């Protein structure tokens, strides 16, 4: 009987490993910027690389003059459908934001957030993290790019966000 238990255990662990691989593959599918997209490119260059990208009718405006005026087709990551928005300032792509609504998920996107954090650790190393009631955050620095993942677990506006943004270093006198 020990051989039967060992065979059943091996089958279970193989199935578990395969499931974990599929989860990671789903998380890894689109975390990097789309092929050919890089921070610093112009809107014309973005259109050349992503011909299906569309102008946003009501652009989002953020501090620093960032305007989210281009959007691409939704992308599945970690079991959620993320909508990418491309933010420009001074005619350069400065931020790419993937946002997924998570109100319909039983865990408010916690499992997707966890999968994206695991992906980030594998790509960028240990994260700088914080957790407040209703919000979790993990961030990394990669050369001239800041990358972060955020989960908002408020049942009315639960979401998961993955952001790539151009790193801005400031002089201490500017703070």
In the structure encoding, which two tokens stand for residue 50, read together?
């992503």
What is the rounded CA–CA span in Å between residue 53 and residue 72?
4
In the structure encoding, which two tokens stand for residue 56, read together?
């946003």
Which pTM was predicted? 0.79
What is the rounded CA–CA span in Å between residue 10 and residue 134?
39
List pLDDT tens digits, range 118-175.
999 999 999 999 999 889 999 999 989 999 999 999 888 999 999 999 987 666 666 5
In the structure encoding, which two tokens stand for residue 39, read together?
């921070």
What is the rounded CA–CA span in Å between residue 163 and residue 167?
12
Per-position DSSP letters for 93-119, written without gaps between them: EEEEEEEEE-TTSTTTTHHHHHHHHHH
Are 163 and 97 in contact by the 8 Å Cβ rule? The answer is yes
CA dihedral in degrees (8, 11, 16, 21; nearest 10)?
170
Query: Which of 32-36, 59-63, 67-71, 72-76 is predicted with the least confidence, judged by mean pLDDT?
Result: 32-36
Beta bridge partners of 89: 92
Answer yes or no: is pLDDT of 65 > 90.
yes
What is the rounded CA–CA span in Å between residue 86 and residue 67?
8
Strands 128-132 and 67-71: unpaired
Cα 87 off chain centre by: 15
List pLDDT tens digits, range 102-128.
999 999 999 999 999 999 999 999 999
């Amino acid at each position: 009987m020990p051989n039967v238990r060992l065979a059943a255990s091996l089958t279970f662990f193989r199935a578990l490993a395969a499931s974990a691989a599929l989860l990671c593959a789903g998380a890894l599918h689109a975390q990097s910027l789309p092929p050919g997209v890089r921070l610093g490119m112009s809107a014309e260059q973005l259109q050349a690389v992503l011909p299906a990208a569309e102008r946003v009718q009501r652009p989002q405006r953020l501090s620093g003059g960032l305007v989210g005026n281009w959007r691409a087709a939704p992308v599945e990551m970690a079991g959620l459908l993320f909508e990418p928005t491309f933010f420009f300032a001074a005619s350069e792509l400065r931020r790419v934001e993937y946002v997924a609504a998570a109100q319909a998920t039983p865990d408010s996107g916690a499992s997707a957030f966890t999968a994206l954090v695991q992906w980030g650790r594998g790509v960028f190393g240990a994260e700088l993290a914080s957790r407040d009631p209703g919000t979790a955050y993990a961030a990394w620095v990669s050369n001239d790019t800041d990358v972060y993942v955020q989960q908002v677990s408020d049942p009315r506006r639960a979401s998961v966000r993955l952001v790539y943004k151009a790193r801005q270093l400031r002089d201490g006198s500017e703070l």
